[in-house]
Structure 1
């Protein structure tokens, strides 16, 4: 018998969101891990939201769950996220909204999100996820890798103007006026973006120069989980400086190994690692000089002769999987925020999101 296409409504609804999400849905174990980390941040949330002061805000736990969904599904804007929250029962279940609760206004969500991330909650959330006992046993405490990647800033190269205001190009009609760079020498010393002053013009790997930041990640080598992250201005020395900063934030001072690509093969950096009781498993930069001689490396034979050096060289490349997911799947190839502090918080939260999508399978196969 053919079914009817007539649309019928009901006066009351008895939909249970918990029953609508299948028992084996991938978001179920992710939500369990995230909720455990959020419970550990209760005191930090209380410090950000003083009691009996102003109207009740959007619960910070729901804000963070919504931001995780935005990363998981690569949703480009807060408007699209709130639209999805309005009709998607799975999103409502994960965030904690009831079936009859209205989705937030996108501007309210953005305001509350910026306030939340300003309290370094992203870094604390990443640490809380990794500090859970069943997660902590998956993480290596001795072997790590580090690398950096460019994050294109939310600013056009047309906004890169002279500091002294000596640009001669007229603004012209419309929002996207002409901007000529012919025969003009531009550098970060003489120019600055009027849209995002903290962004820097930088190029890497033969690509065109862009206004960007540089994101850095510290990864443990056992399962390739990100354990720390940092965003800096894009400079030629930022990768090495950020690596030392993340090592200094690491709890404990036991001897560890650090794998990295040949861009870190600098004598000063190797010396700084050894002073921190870090064995430098750095790839050797074997570029030839103008005389045909190979460049002198700071990594000695006492390091490269051990089998662990080769293992670190294989494991360190997995950090590209972290950057690849963050930039292609989570949509952070071009950040939608301005200012280094906000970009740093978003980048760190995306590192936590990457760990969360990998942890359910790792926990299921762990002995």
Structure 2
């Protein structure tokens, strides 16, 4: 016989929120390895000692982590989901009658207290410190890479140069932050030149115009440094989506790892985008063994003789052509060479005149060769490319692609919502923290001792 559901309105219910969250639920496993007790101490100086009590910052951090763990990008929708979902309420320490903050509260705190205190990055660094202290993550062998992320900026709303941007008093927050950051830009790697942007977005000027899949869009690069053994994200950095900005982002992540965690990797692997002489020299000077394919354009001579056909005399600081004629250094080695990263060598016209192999060497009256200031380091790294360890590193490097695949396809971070370089960095940091927390549930024992850390 078919049954009927009979509705009865009970006056009293026995309800325990703790019993409604399954033992294997992701949030319960994350709660076992997550410690946010430092948040209130970290934020204490950013709140007034008088007035009405504000929203607990730990509550907002937990809600934001839920958004990045489950791909909820809209803060308005996030508040609705936390209000309805019992597991979300349990993770946020809200009972059934607990009031969920308004979505506008996140906007105000993100652009105010959280950004001033660098709270989101501190949460991420806490996950790194916890795994390094527990021995579940290592800096022995690391990989670095960057991935294209679309900015919240329309392609057609742009100007020709920075000078065409509106003044600070009439500009949006993203433009004001961009203008204020121009004077605080970190110095480039020696020998790395950046050309001026051809188009600057009026909506988000820090984003770079980048072509992906045949379409030009304003974008940022999500740069990540991972432990190839555990898959833990050791560093994350936002940068405009430009080829020259990827090594600079890697340098910042490595420096942050050294300063904050007192850790220097033994081996770093990356793709060819990081194979420039200046970056390889910077890596090797810090005792890091670079397993990176070297950028080599010396063979691009339109079918004529390459650099390999010329011998370099280190003592005389000159090249010798196949006919034994010298190519001597030209220009100021300490000036232009530092700016370009190379030293120029040129033959004499009298030596080239009447040379029997000139047609295979050059079409001009003399032959010129450029030598990198970091050529010795390039040769050292190139010699490693034939080793088994180098080949293994290139295979392990692909593990960083898993991070980008999870962030984009599993967690839905295809396009950024927050504007400006700081907004992009905040989203990348939260996405990396969410990925680390998921990894920690597998790496750290659920019922064993856990290493708790506090903010510096």
- TM-score norm. by structure 1 comes to 0.84
Higher alpha-carbon deviation: 347-356 or 230-239: 230-239
Contact 1:72 1:329 (C-alpha < 8 Å) held by counterparts: no
What is aligned with 2:252? 245
Map 1:1-367 onto structure 2 (within 5 A): 2-34=2-34, 36=35, 38-50=36-48, 52-118=49-115, 119-132=117-130, 136-163=134-161, 189=197, 191-204=199-212, 207-251=214-258, 252=262, 254=264, 256-285=266-295, 289-291=300-302, 298=378, 300-364=381-445
Question: Using a 3 Å threshold, how does the CA distance of structure 1 residues 139 and 8 change in structure 2: closer, same or farther?
Answer: same
Give 1:188 deviation, angstroms: 6.2
Contact 2:276 2:294 in 1 (8 A): no
CA distance in 1, matches of 2:267, 2:405: 24
Which stretches of structure 1, 4 residues or longer, exceed 6 Å deviation after superposition? 293-297
Partner SS for 1:4: coil
Greater C-alpha radius of gyration:
2
Matched-pair contact (CA < 8 Å) for 1:129–1:135: no
Tell me, yes or no, if the aligned pair for 1:259 and 1:313 is still in contact at 8 Å: yes
Pick closer, same or farther for the CA change 1:285–1:9 going to 2, 3 Å: farther
1:272 deviation in Å? 1.2
Residues 26 and 6 (structure 1), Cα distance of their counterparts in 2 relative to 1, 3 Å cut = same
Q: Which residue of 2 aligns with 1:173?
A: none
Structure 1 pair 366/271, CA: closer, same or farther in 2 (3 Å)?
farther
Q: Deviations over 1:180-199 (max 9, x none)?
A: xxxxxxx9635322211222
SS in structure 2 opposite 1:54? Answer: coil
Corresponding residue pairs, total: 343
CA RMSD between the two structures: 2.9
Q: Indicate if the aligned counterparts of 1:232 and 1:238 stay in contact, CA closer than 8 A.
A: yes
Question: Which range is displaced more, 8-17 or 270-279?
Answer: 8-17
Indicate the SS of the match to 2:430.
Answer: helix
SS at match of 2:122: helix
Higher mean alpha-carbon deviation, 215-224 vs 308-317, is at: 308-317
Secondary structure of the structure 2 residue equivalent to 1:27: helix
Q: Distance in 1 between matches of 2:86 and 2:24?
A: 16
**SS of structure 1 residue aligned to 2:215:** coil
**TM-score normalized by the length of structure 2:** 0.68
Alpha carbons of structure 1 residues 6 and 286: separation in structure 2 relative to 1, 3 Å: farther
Structure 2 residue runs without a partner (length 5+)? 166-194, 309-374, 449-456
Q: Which runs of 5+ in 1 are unaligned?
A: 167-186
Deviations 1:203-238 (A, max 9, x none): 25x531111111211111211110111111222210
Q: Distance in 2 between matches of 1:216 and 1:16?
A: 43
Summarize deviations over 1:143-200 as a string: whole Å, max 9, x none. 111111121111111212345769xxxxxxxxxxxxxxxxxxxx96353222112222
